[in-house]
Amino acid sequence: MIVYGDARSGNCYKIQLVASMLEIEHRWVHVDILDGGTQTRAFLSKNPNGKIPVVELASGTCLWESNAILYYFAQGTRLWPADPLQQARVLQWMFFEQYSHEPFIAVARFIAKFLGLPEQRQDEYAAKQSGGHKALRVMEHQLAQTPYIGGDGLTIADVALYAYTHVADEGGFDLASYGAIRRWLARFATEPGYVAMQR
């Protein structure tokens, strides 16, 4: 199995995390989004949407969208609950991550860390801050009530949200006032199989 990705991307780091936590053997192929690596004809044949990560299975079939890949790997493991309502709750937080969290926190980080906060994107960077803090408040509200984002147990929803939350500072988000999030981040980093992000 081959994973195409860039280890500095949170969406790709999710795959590194779940593969390490579940001891899934794979080969990592680096694809650099900044030099057009996701827009080549060869890459677009794997994911016509031109985004990383992509997983190429032994059969040659490709699967894309980081959270769909997490779902696939987690089936039958401790990271996926057995109860359908709990499963839907995990997916609820993963859709929240992609719609209400990543477009603010990950994009602000990308503008600052990868692009060096160029002048023509400073307004966009500033505009990302309120949406990012709104997402963090929603997470804080949940994590003040339950140890993990989906409830009592660690799931792939925690993996999905950990990826960009733990580097939110690189997008200008100070987590000092989010005590429950900080305790959850610290707890997550002690889970078996945890690996740090390459930064």
Which positions lie near a copy of itself, rule CB under 8 A? 48-49, 51, 57, 61, 63-69, 71-72, 75, 84-85, 87-89, 91-92, 94-96, 98-100, 102-103, 137-138, 141-142
User: What tokens appear for 94 in the block?
Assistant: 């993963």
Q: Which is nearer to a copy of itself, 30 or 134 (CB)?
A: 134
Q: Which is nearer to a copy of itself, 40 or 198 (CB)?
A: 40
Backbone angles phi, psi at 174, to 5 degrees: -85, 120
At its nearest, how many Å lie between a copy of itself and the CB of residue 194? 24
CB of 40 to a copy of itself, least distance (A): 16
Residue type at 13 in one-letter notation:
Y
The runs of H, that is alpha helices, within 49-83 are: 66-74
Q: Closest distance between a copy of itself and the C-beta of residue 57, in Å?
A: 8
Cβ closer to a copy of itself: 141 or 183? 141
Q: Where are the alpha helices (DSSP H) in the chain?
A: 10-21, 41-46, 66-74, 84-96, 102-109, 122-143, 156-165, 179-188
122 — phi, psi (to 5°)? -70, -35
Cα–Cα distance measured from residue 194 to residue 25, given in angstroms and rounded to the nearest whole number: 15
Residue placing its CB nearer to a copy of itself in the complex, 84 or 192: 84
What is the Cα–Cα distance from 176 to 158, expressed in whole angstroms? 20
Nearest distance, CB of residue 58 and a copy of itself, angstroms: 12
Q: Is 29 or 68 the residue whose CB approaches a copy of itself more closely?
A: 68
CB of 196 to a copy of itself, least distance (A): 25
